[in-house]
Amino acid sequence: MKKLIVLVLASFMLVGCYDKTTSISDKDTVLITLDNKTITKGDVYNVMGKVEPYPAVVVLTLSKKMILAKEVGITAEITAAADAALAAWLETNKADVQKALDDAGYKDEDAIYNDKFIVEAQSNNLVSKYINTTFSTIVSTYKPVKARVMEIEKKADATLALAAIKAGDSFATVATKYGNKQYSSDLAIYYTGSDLPDLVLTFLKGVTLPTLSDVIEDTDNSLYYIVQVSVADGNAMKEEVITSFTKNATFIEMALMGYYESNGFKIYDRTVYDMINTNYPDYIVQ
């Protein structure tokens, strides 16, 4: 998984436990602008005093918080999700809440609530918003379908499995008998970037109606596949696709890049630019 995704999912744990003890003279120097707002050297230094000195991560952390504030804000839906997440976290760590807070780098419950759980809820909402806004393009490009996939190790078993499904046996029952459990026999949302063999992805990309495949033979690996597609049009299962893709690293990254670009992310400091370009080049949208 790209470094970017680590940043996306973890970088907001960087804020808020300790006071800085020194100062800088050029704290008002602008490093970046985004949506006509700025991040200065002082903003970055305030956070860097609390975490490992990694300016690129700090700048991207602060800029993402600006995007979340503009594009999502704090709504009843956001606070409800954060409330539930905090309650679950407190239950898990009830034996020693303060130790768990210290281990995670937060001063108190308010800090972890605002800097972790609120931000996570906002991030989920941001990705969902992006996918919903660009849904037609995403469907035409990534061709989501709802399907079951079975991998079988012997050709004779694959032939018997296909015959059994055609005779009326359930896909799950047949998969239990003949499949090797490489893939769940449950219905799942798949798309062009799913972790499936190329031959299976090629079959799915060509499907336009619910269907049952013939035995798909992978001669290179001596494996056999049967695919049962129940929904071939992503537009017919919009909410399910959005829910699935909101948790998918590909679309998390896509959403962030989209909002960075649309909000005019610009970097003015050469050192910070070089750090971001080296470690997180996808963010260079200017």
Amino acid found at 269 = D
> 203-224 burial by CB neighbour count: b if 16+ within 10 A, else e?
bbeebeeeeebebbeeeeeebb
Return per-residue pLDDT of the chain as tens, 286 residues: 444 433 443 333 334 433 333 444 566 777 767 777 777 766 665 555 444 336 778 888 888 888 999 999 999 999 999 999 999 999 999 999 999 999 999 999 999 999 999 999 999 999 999 999 999 999 999 999 999 999 999 999 999 999 999 999 999 999 999 999 899 889 999 999 999 999 999 999 999 999 999 999 999 999 999 999 999 999 999 999 999 999 999 999 899 889 988 888 888 878 778 888 888 888 887 6
Residue the block writes with tokens 């903003």: 43
The answer on 189 and 77 residing in a single domain is no
> 93-114 burial by CB neighbour count: b if 16+ within 10 A, else e?
eeeeeeebbeeebbeeeebbbe
Task: With beta carbons less than 8 A apart as the criterion, state whether 252 and 282 touch.
Answer: no
- Beta-bridged to residue 151, according to DSSP, are 225
Residue 121 domain flag: yes
Residue 9 domain flag: yes
pLDDT value at position 106?
93
The answer on 167 and 69 residing in a single domain is no
Instruction: Pull the structure tokens for residue 69.
Output: 């504030």
- Beta-bridged to residue 34, according to DSSP, are 37
The answer on 181 and 69 residing in a single domain is no
Q: What is the pTM of this model?
A: 0.74
Residue 143 domain flag: no
- Outline where DSSP puts E strands in the chain: 30-34, 37-40, 145-152, 188-190, 211-212, 216-218, 223-231, 266-267
The answer on 231 and 255 residing in a single domain is no
Residue 142 domain flag: no
The answer on 192 and 162 residing in a single domain is yes
Among residues 106, 108, 116, 190, the alpha carbon closest in space to that of 147 is found at 190
Rounded to a whole number of angstroms, the CA Rg of the chain reads: 24
Residue 193 domain flag: yes
- Beta-bridged to residue 190, according to DSSP, are 145
Domain final residue pick, 235, 256, 273: 235
The answer on 121 and 8 residing in a single domain is yes
The answer on 156 and 100 residing in a single domain is no
Among residues 136, 251, 137, 242, the alpha carbon closest in space to that of 194 is found at 251
Structural domain range at position 25: 3-135+243-283
Q: How many domains does the chain have?
A: 2
Residue 277 domain flag: yes
Residue the block writes with tokens 């219905």: 187
The answer on 116 and 249 residing in a single domain is yes
Instruction: Pull the structure tokens for residue 160.
Output: 């018997």
The answer on 165 and 114 residing in a single domain is no
The answer on 217 and 152 residing in a single domain is yes
The answer on 254 and 228 residing in a single domain is no
The answer on 197 and 247 residing in a single domain is no
Among residues 158, 148, 149, 147, the alpha carbon closest in space to that of 223 is found at 158
Strands 223-231 and 216-218, bridge-based pairing: antiparallel
- What's the burial of 179, exposed, middle or buried (CB within 10 Å: 0-12/13-18/19+)? buried
Residue 61: how many CB atoms within 10 A of its CB?
A: 22
pLDDT value at position 94?
96
- CATH code, 227: 3.10.50.40
pLDDT value at position 15?
40
